[in-house]
């Protein structure tokens, strides 16, 4: 027996209008605002990013990313990149300056293996070969947002 029910658009609109709107409890707003950095106790002009929150999967396999801040007047974004062991970042052109600080793990680039505390600056207009990691890496990047944040306008 087929249990699929089909509705036309006017029926779906009527059903939607008849539903009572859901009102979230006060704890929902507090949790949401804390994730946005506007929680009580956070002064205007500050953004708080907690370690376990805000990560999203990057289109490249084995890489996840977190946007820490975007400064539109400087055309710069501060990002965290968490690369799994064996992850690869393809060769690319730098449309703006790029700064890379290795927090943990290893990053192989320019014929060198960078480790915790190592820093690399690339000028605008330079080309970068493939970057790899053997053990995985946590990297702080300062880059043009439109070059690294999918859908950034």
Query: Model confidence at 21, in pLDDT bands (50, 70, 90)?
Result: low
**pLDDT tens sequence across 84-108:** 999 999 999 999 999 999 999 999 9
Look at residue 117 and tell me if it is in a domain: yes
Q: For residue 110, what are the domain limits? A: 56-148
Look at residue 78 and tell me if it is in a domain: yes
Predicted confidence (pLDDT) at residue 28 exceeds the cutoff of 70 = no
pLDDT given for residue 41 in this prediction = 76
Look at residue 127 and tell me if it is in a domain: yes
Q: Which residues pair with 88 in a beta bridge?
A: 132
Question: How many domains, in total, are found in the chain?
Answer: 1
CATH code of the domain covering residue 60: 2.60.120.10
pLDDT given for residue 134 in this prediction = 97
Quote the mean pLDDT of the chain: 83
Look at residue 137 and tell me if it is in a domain: yes
């Amino acid at each position: 027996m087929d249990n699929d029910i089909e509705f036309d658009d006017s029926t779906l609109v009527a059903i939607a209008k008849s539903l009572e709107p859901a009102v979230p409890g006060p704890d929902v707003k507090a949790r949401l605002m804390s994730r946005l950095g506007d929680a009580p106790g956070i002064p205007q002009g500050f953004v708080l990013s907690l370690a376990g929150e805000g990560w999203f999967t990057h289109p490249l396999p084995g890489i996840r990313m977190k946007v820490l801040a975007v400064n539109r007047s400087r055309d710069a974004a501060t990002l965290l990149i968490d690369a799994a062991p064996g992850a690869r970042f393809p060769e690319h052109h730098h449309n703006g300056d790029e700064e890379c600080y290795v927090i943990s793990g290893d990053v192989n680039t320019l014929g060198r293996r960078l480790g915790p505390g190592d820093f690399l600056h690339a000028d605008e207009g330079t080309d970068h070969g493939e970057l790899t990691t053997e053990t995985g890496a946590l990297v702080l990047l300062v880059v043009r947002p439109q070059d690294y944040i999918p859908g950034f306008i």
